[in-house]
Amino acid sequence: MSTIELITAEVCPYAQRTHMTLLEKGLAFERREVDLSNKPDWFNEVSPYSKVPVVKIGDDVVYESAIINEFIDEAYPEPPMMPRDPVARAKARIWIDYCNNVWVEDSYELLFAKDPAKQAELRTKVEDQLRKIEFDGMRQLSDGPYWLGENVSLVDLTYYPFFERFGAIAHHRKASIPEECTRIRAWYDLMASRDSAKATAHDEAYYIDRYRKWVDEAA
């Protein structure tokens, strides 16, 4: 296959997922960083939604992080990062979808909420979602330590960048990962120790600082 090019922005959690997936697969790739506040023309030509991440392989362009990551897993099957069994595969996709369309949406709505009553409502909602992730997600799918068992999967790589940033949302909005979510906590520490996380991560202070601007704007 042709050279893999990852079009990315360091700050983007969706792009971090794909960057981590490429690293976990041990693939050689070239990284092209985009300044999202000043998008170059070539980027708008290559990215159909004008968003990162985009992966280019020869003349083919694949976009949307969840789709890119499944594409990478199918095109480069070792090590496998989705279950083979169709039911287990569907469940993995359900929790990937939950991350993208429920928890991430509401977590960032909490970050951006201006009204204290709305913040309180969203804080409760997001903390309940974390309990759901812990008890209906992780604990139902496997005994761990990863989402699907002994090995890292696309579900882990989907959630990790957003948990890396959740500490900053929690800081600004006085939310927390509930005490009883012990599996999430152990999983997060394990994920953070992986080389793919270390190569792409920023610490909590970095996100607290970045997100302060939006919190101040919302105030």
Ligand X SMILES: N[C@@H](CCC(=O)N[C@@H](CS)C(=O)NCC(=O)O)C(=O)O
List active site positions: 12
Return the number of the residue (63 or 187) whose C-beta is nearest ligand X. Answer: 63
141 touches ligand X by CB under 6 A: no
65 touches ligand X by CB under 6 A: yes
Task: Provide the CB-side half-sphere exposure for 14 (13 A, CA).
Answer: 17
Min separation Cβ 16 and ligand X, Å = 9
51 touches ligand X by CB under 6 A: yes
46 touches ligand X by CB under 6 A: no
Min separation Cβ 150 and ligand X, Å = 27
Return the number of the residue (99 or 215) whose C-beta is nearest ligand X. Answer: 99
Applying CB under 6 A, which of residues 4, 7, 8, 14 lies at the interface with ligand X?
14
- Among the listed ranges 45-53, 136-144, 170-178, 184-192, the one in contact with ligand X (CB under 6 A) is 45-53
Per 3-state DSSP, the chain is made up of helix, strand and coil in percentages (nearest 5) of: 60, 10, 30
Other CB atoms within a 10 A radius of the CB of residue 207 amount to 20
Enumerate residues 19-38 that contact ligand X by CB under 6 A: 36
- Which residues partner with 63 through β-bridges? 54
Sign of CA dihedral 22, 194, 94, 78: positive
- Among the listed ranges 9-17, 112-120, 174-182, 183-191, the one in contact with ligand X (CB under 6 A) is 9-17
Return the number of the residue (62 or 152) whose C-beta is nearest ligand X. Answer: 62
Distances 54 to 60, 65, 75 between C-alpha atoms, Å: 10, 8, 16
Residue 73 CA to residue 21 CA, distance in Å, equals 8
154 touches ligand X by CB under 6 A: no
- Among the listed ranges 58-66, 86-94, 134-142, 161-169, the one in contact with ligand X (CB under 6 A) is 58-66
